[in-house]
Amino acid sequence: MVWLKRDIRTDDHAPLCRAAESDLPCIVMYVFEPEVRTAKDYDARHERFIVQSLTDFEGRLQRAGKRVHILHGSVVEVFEALAGQYAVNHVYAHFETGNHITFQRDVAVKKLLSEKGISLKEFKQYAVWRGLKTRKGRGTRSSEFLSRPLYQLDLNRLETIALPSHVTSRFSAEDILHRVGGSDQKMQKGGETQALKTLNSFFEYRSRGYMKGISKPAASRESCSRLSPYLAWGNVSIRRVYQECVQQAKGGNAKNLLFFAERLRWHCHFIQKFESESRMEFENYNSGYNRMEKPFNEAYFQAWKTGTTGYPLVDACMRAVRETGYLNFRMRAMVVSFITAHLWQPWQPAAEWLARMFLDYEPGIHYPQFQMQAGITGVNTIRIYNPVKQSVEHDPQGEFIKKYVSELFNVPPAYIHEPWKMPLMEQQFAGCMIGEHYPAPIVNLEKANKYAADMLWKMRKDSEVKRESRRILNRHTTRG
Least confident stretch, 14-18, 384-388, 471-475: 471-475
Q: Residue 32: which residues within 8 A CB-CB, separation 6 or more?
A: 47, 50, 70, 71, 72, 73, 173, 176
* Domain map (residue ranges) of the chain: 2-180, 192-273, 281-476
pLDDT tens digits, residue range 211-247?
999 999 999 999 999 999 999 999 999 999 999 999 9
402-424 tens-digit pLDDT: 999 999 999 999 999 999 999 99
Long-range contact set of residues 16-22: C-beta below 8 Å, sequence gap at least 24: 16/92, 16/151, 16/153, 16/158, 17/151, 17/152, 17/153, 17/154, 18/90, 18/92, 18/121, 18/123, 19/90, 19/92, 19/158, 20/153, 20/154, 20/155, 20/157, 20/158, 21/157, 22/89, 22/90
- Span between the terminal Cα atoms of the chain, in Å: 44
Mapping DSSP to helix (H, G, I), strand (E, B) and coil, where does residue 267 land?
helix
Q: Which CATH code, of 1.25.40.80, 3.30.360.10, 1.20.120.1200, 3.10.50.30, is assigned to 192-273? A: 1.25.40.80
Q: Which CATH architecture has domain 2-180?
A: 3-Layer(aba) Sandwich (3.40)
Residue 428: is its pLDDT beyond 80? yes
Q: What is the DSSP letter of 461?
A: T
DSSP-derived 3-state class of residue 29: strand
Residue of 152, 236, 145 whose CA lies nearest to 190: 236
pLDDT reading at 329 higher than 90? yes
- The string of pLDDT tens digits covering residues 126-149 is 999 988 777 677 788 899 999 999
Would the pTM count as exceeding 0.75?
yes
pLDDT average, residue stretch 281-304: 96
pLDDT in tens, 433-452: 999 999 999 999 999 999 99
pLDDT band at 470 (very low <50, low <70, confident <90, very high): very high
* CATH number for the segment(s) 281-476: 1.10.579.10
pLDDT (average), residues 282-304: 96
Residue 246 pLDDT? 96
- Give the model's confidence band at 181: pLDDT under 50 very low, under 70 low, under 90 confident, else very high: low
Distance, in Å, from the CA atom of 344 to the CA atom of 355, rounded to the nearest integer, reads 20
The mean pLDDT of 118-124, rounded to a whole number, is 97
pLDDT of residue 380: 87
- Which pLDDT does position 476 carry in this prediction? 79
So what's the pLDDT on residue 230?
98
Least confident stretch, 133-142, 168-177, 271-280:
133-142
pLDDT of 238: 97
pLDDT at 480 over 60: no
Q: What count of Cα atoms within 13 Å lies in the side-chain half-sphere of residue 353?
A: 18
Q: What confidence score (pLDDT) does residue 133 get?
A: 73
Q: What average pLDDT is seen over the chain?
A: 95
Q: Is a pLDDT exceeding 80 seen at residue 183?
A: no
